[in-house]
Amino acid sequence: MRTASLERNTAETQITLSLNLDGSGEGSIDSGCGFLNHMLTLFARHGGFDLKLNCSGDTDVDDHHTTEDIGICLGRAVREALGDLKGIRRYGNMLLPMDEALILCALDISGRSGFYPELAIPTEKVGSFDTELCEEFFTAFTREAGITLHLRQLAGKNSHHIIEGCFKAFARALSMAVSMDEKNAGRVPSTKGVLG
């Protein structure tokens, strides 16, 4: 099993997280932010990952620190769970419809972090969640995981649908990329022999 567990404690957030990349899609999420709970539950289910997360954060200020720090922790956990990277498919992609929204996600577990979004989320909030935090989450995640991630909104008018499409597409593309490739068992998927 490819798993990772970690804790992160700062003056702004206290986080415990465990992740199983080879799980069944079970999520036990308490981020302190209802919308983020919803997105991370979708991430676990659509990726086939088992994710347990508890976060106590300064949500009396806003959800920024909570969202960013969870992105940091989840990115670190994915990187740790992947180990030596041998035998993984490395690349993943998904074109995902979410009602009127259409999201393209493509990623590379390259060892080189980069987040390249083309999103036009029409409202500043979904419920109490600041929609700009969607990009903060993925920026933090990719930096810690060493993943190159492209997210493009090809269609969409509803902010909830657009962000939900992003998390679902990301989960399915990541699931593809971390899956094992029997043709390359025991080898790092790079002609350089290393990723990074």
125-169 pLDDT tens trace: 999 999 999 999 999 999 999 999 999 999 999 999 999 999 999
The residue-averaged pLDDT of 87-101 equals 96
> Which residue ranges form the domains of the chain, and what is each CATH number?
3-184 (3.30.230.40)
Contact predicate 29/41, CB 8 Å: yes
The beta strands (E) that lie in 38-100 are given as 50-57, 91-98
- The predicted pLDDT at position 13 comes to 97
The distance from CA 176 to its chain's CA centroid, rounded to whole angstroms, is 13
Tell whether the model's pLDDT for residue 18 goes beyond 90: yes
pTM beyond 0.85, yes or no: yes
Task: Give percent of the chain with pLDDT exceeding 70.
Answer: 96
Contact predicate 66/74, CB 8 Å: no
In degrees and rounded to multiples of 5, residue 159 shows phi and psi of -60, -40
Q: Considering only CA atoms, give the Rg of the chain.
A: 16
60-91 pLDDT tens trace: 889 999 999 999 999 999 999 999 998 899 99
